[in-house]
Chain A
């Protein structure tokens, strides 16, 4: 079992899966009836696999597709819509047809291309979109109704009754037109994300890519060479060309070996560059372990790379295009280049007798190569009347394939000869070549439009592609091997020169240099049946004509109406055919007709790869408070607040409902003392000679005159006058403040203040830094809080009411000398303190407080009790600061100082924010004590209609108060300050809520503030 070691790439260009269970055998045996000699497989090793439950054998180096063909399996799938029998069209990632479910159990993956799935021992594959079996598929009945299922059929057919669409039609259509099925189990594999950097990214490791990599690598540039295949070499692996005095694959092996030895070159096989993004960023998927039965322990299945590159060279080659003709989708009909790949690289023929249909010289090479491999080639059918004789077999010049026969695989092709007569030719496979399309995809990811090249009748990358990207070789329309090597080297040198690096082109050996010779030919006009353009989405020539007839003539409309090119293969083998036909119908040229937009990803990416390791409990990082461990040991239930895990309540033995715990915690604090971890509140250190002036700007209320050793509540407004955040700020010394923010807004407030500091008041002498988690901070609240703290605070610090009055702050020491900060502030309405020590001592301090507090029956309380107590006290929190509320609404209108200019103060004077019936924060109590106040409910004047026009406000927070023995709430009511005692309706028409509540002072507990000052 091999694992691609990414660091040194040592396994690259080795046939993949010499599985541990692979048997040694002397050749392919009798089962692989279509196996030929040679190829880049290891016939000495045999791999067993199964397809639809039947066992087969293949060899290391095989793909699932090549191994199936070797075993004379041409039928690999059913088509999307009509459930037509289909086999492979291609030998690579452009494959529209041979989609299978790979593996079993939780690892089962649908829609995997058999043409790219590397064979390993024990591989299990199943066909999809068929029932009950691939050979007998009931849904093939769709094919008989094809006249009804044309483009746009569901727009026309399922119009009425309207309600049926969602409930009846759509589920049926989805089931019938399914692709693979999901396992509905968690993906057991791991996935990584990563980041790479280079001077030159070379996309594709064929002849042009290798020449480019050698050029740039020898020049010392940092190079990444990526290829989606598991072997470098590109088309050289499927061809028989010599390069210099070496056969092609030997030249490839030598080049790859040299590149591997260069520390500045990273060779990444099994890696698809699938998107071009801004500023030289490319995304890549590396299939690290897909060729193994199971990834090794701790290793990822795939890695999603983000590549930062200075220049990019697109060497992605070209994709052969098919010709459309009647029944051109039977298993056995494939691209001529694919037929050649299977023979030369995988030593496989799809059938013992084959034929070729072409409009260009390149197609003839398939016949030449298969004849050389001992396969009988019935004929080369060339659309050109002046077709040259290249292969040693019958040539039918000026002829066209007009129909085919064979239920589950090709048996005959029907040829219309140049003289107008028809002839049936017996063959089990047909190689089709309609010319080649440069693989321009990535060059158009940023809306760059490819440009038409008449010489090759195809689009090539245009000048407005991603900055820094150039193309070479077949991707740029330079189809010969010699041209690929030459342009690859030259473009690499040019890219480096552009970066100010010196590079010289490499010495190029002699090699194949055939000029493209073709007559554009897109589809056969004879025949009344269907000729397929997009085999994955079952789009035919007729569908394109229908779209034209119904005036969907723009390419973008053509695409949406017919779904041409919208399948997972993104129309790699079909888009051009559709464009060409539309061009013919509209009388425009193909470039005038234009192309649709190319978008990433270039080929399908598993969901797991997008997610990487951010899944399950690692979906985002967590933040633990200093008392986290103690809380876990003491029955805490946690709640997520941003990334923080905060104790929500602590369950004591015998407590069976959270309310029991929360009520107990609230009562204990109000009666004696409780401790709450408030480390999560944002802490911002504000220093500088202008620190006080700065705070005067960011807070609506005055801070400049806050005395050293004092803390003040502050309200921060947005520029538009809406309340942004609140908290307390302590003045530790003349030029040193510590601000606290709400937990949720810590980052936003810090960001806002940095903006204010850097952009609005750059002349102020003020410095900011977050210290949120540098200090473990505990609220110690309740009538006995001082007594508890006096046991902890070192005796030289007087924390009596006289020595340390309400809102005081001081730097102190605790427990015999540990530096600490003490603030006398209260969120609960009780006498309360907040004590902060360096975080590493937070755990010990929590334990000490609980130990020393035993005599006072101290409790730890969580966010739920905290919330109950702040509602009882009428303190606004996140629920109230909802992004629409201003100071006036909060009852803090007068806090917005008019003696100074602060952010938001002017805008808060807007008329609309100061209407006589503006919302005021008030409290609510149910009239019937058994009723509940429900947050989110809206308020209506008693007896008024219940509708939006009569809305009087809404409830923002609600809880059960164990002190008042009643449900209570806070909320905003129009002119609420003047409606105390009024009974209003609290409604929620969605949940049939309608209870009477009384408008009361929001400070349910100790409205005079006696307790906090005790």
Chain B
């Protein structure tokens, strides 16, 4: 990895991730993840799927689903499009790794810092999220993913454990607004 001397900062301007514990709910800023988007080149859908399967160790998931195999999680984002997630420490150059694995079958784009990820954990996730977005989270099972609007922002909502653990991926520049919305909704609903 690179040996540069620029210090990273989290989307909420901290040097470490911000964790908010509100009663039995926890809201965590999760900056330690690298993201790369992949989109199949025209006519290369099967080739990309095969290459991705080999690289990830798991098949690319179906519509509105995610699939995980340590250290990767892939989730569907659109027709023939997925996002790949991996630990930042070990995969800061995730886009380059993915590109070399998928070659000309895919267009790969670094997305790591395009997003802020907040994890919402605790028994009242559904009560909180119903104040924030129109996703029917009570029917979401582990691995379900949807795109939804939250605090007027287009976000991905990933169910990591039904009812008790969700990830919200929203635009990084609006991390403060998103965080404020999560905190107020959690205080309101619990």
Contacts and interface: CB of A to CB of B under 8 A. Distances in A.
Contact of A622 (B31, B134, B177, B184): B177
Given A6-B127, A818-B2, A623 B171 contact: yes
A776 B112 CA distance: 12
Main secondary structure of the interface of A (DSSP, over half): mixed
Interface string A177-190: 00000000000001
Contacts of B131: 192-194, 303
A625 B11 CA distance: 10
B111 A771 contact: yes
Contact of B5 (A195, A618, A687, A816): A816
A624 interface: yes
A480 interface: no
B91 interface: no
Interface stretch (B38-46, B49-57, B58-66): B38-46
A623 B173 contact: yes
B152 A840 contact: no
Contact of A774 (B111, B177, B181): B111
A7 B180 CA distance: 22
Interface string B7-20: 11110010000000
Interface stretch (A42-50, A505-513, A841-849, A904-912): A841-849
Contacts of A679: 173
B113 A769 contact: no
A773 B4 contact: no
A688 B104 CA distance: 9
Nearest to A774: B114
A270 to B, nearest CB: 16
B109 interface: yes
Interface in A731-777: 735-736, 763-765, 767, 769-776
A373 B83 CA distance: 71
B10 to A, nearest CB: 7
B113 to A, nearest CB: 4
B39 A838 contact: no
A306 B134 contact: yes
A837 interface: yes
B133 interface: yes
B24 interface: no
Contacts of A844: 6-9
Interface string A703-716: 00000000000000
Nearest to B133: A195
Given A194-B130, A197-B136, A298 B113 contact: no
B28 interface: no
Given A6-B127, A765-B43, A816-B3, A774 B180 contact: no
A839 interface: yes
A190 B185 CA distance: 11
Contact of B130 (A190, A195, A621, A643): A195
Nearest to B138: A197
B114 A770 contact: yes
Contacts of A7: 124, 127, 189
B138 A773 contact: no
B41 A767 contact: yes
Contact of A298 (B7, B10, B188): B188
A971 B117 CA distance: 45
Given A195-B133, A685-B109, A770-B114, A815 B4 contact: yes
Interface residues of A, number: 66
A838 B13 contact: no
Contacts of A687: 39, 107-109
Interface in B169-186: 171-178, 180-181, 184-185
A621 B41 CA distance: 35
A839 B177 CA distance: 17
Interface in B39-97: 39, 41-43, 81, 93
A644 interface: yes
Contacts of A736: 107
A196 interface: yes
A845 B7 CA distance: 9
Contacts of A221: none
A233 interface: no
Contacts of B6: 814-815, 818, 837, 841, 844-845, 848
A195 B130 CA distance: 5
B90 to A, nearest CB: 16
A299 interface: yes
Interface in A627-646: 628-629, 643-644
Contacts of A644: 173
B2 A813 contact: yes
B146 interface: no
A629 B181 CA distance: 21
A839 B172 contact: yes
B110 interface: yes
B188 A299 contact: yes
Interface centre among B31, B134, B139, B188 (most CB of A within 10 A): B188
A814 B6 CA distance: 9
Contacts of A763: 42
B134 A192 contact: no
A803 interface: no
B111 A622 contact: no
B139 to A, nearest CB: 8
B81 to A, nearest CB: 8
A839 B109 CA distance: 15
Contacts of A839: 113-114, 172
Contacts of B134: 195, 306, 308
A904 to B, nearest CB: 25
A613 B2 contact: no
B112 A643 contact: no
Given A299-B188, A767-B39, A843-B9, A774 B113 contact: yes
A689 interface: yes
A307 to B, nearest CB: 10
A37 interface: no
Contacts of A814: 4, 6
Contacts of A613: 181, 184
A587 interface: no
Interface in B106-162: 107-114, 124, 127, 130-136, 138-139, 151-153
A819 B184 contact: no
Interface string A787-817: 0000000000000000000000000011111
A300 interface: yes
Contacts of A643: 174
A624 B136 CA distance: 30
Contact of A621 (B93, B113, B178): B178
Contacts of B135: 195
A620 interface: yes
A308 B148 CA distance: 15
Given A844-B6, A848-B6, A773 B181 contact: no
B47 to A, nearest CB: 13
A903 B88 CA distance: 41
A733 to B, nearest CB: 11
Contact of B174 (A299, A621, A685, A688): A621
B10 A624 contact: no
B107 A688 contact: yes
10 contacts: A613-B184, A621-B174, A622-B174, A629-B13, A685-B107, A687-B107, A688-B42, A769-B81, A819-B93, A839-B114
Sorted from nearest, which 10 A-B pairs have the closest CB atoms? A621-B177, A687-B107, A298-B187, A817-B2, A839-B113, A774-B114, A765-B42, A623-B173, A767-B39, A818-B4
Given A771-B109, A772-B114, A816-B4, 5 more contacts: A192-B131, A303-B131, A690-B42, A814-B4, A819-B2
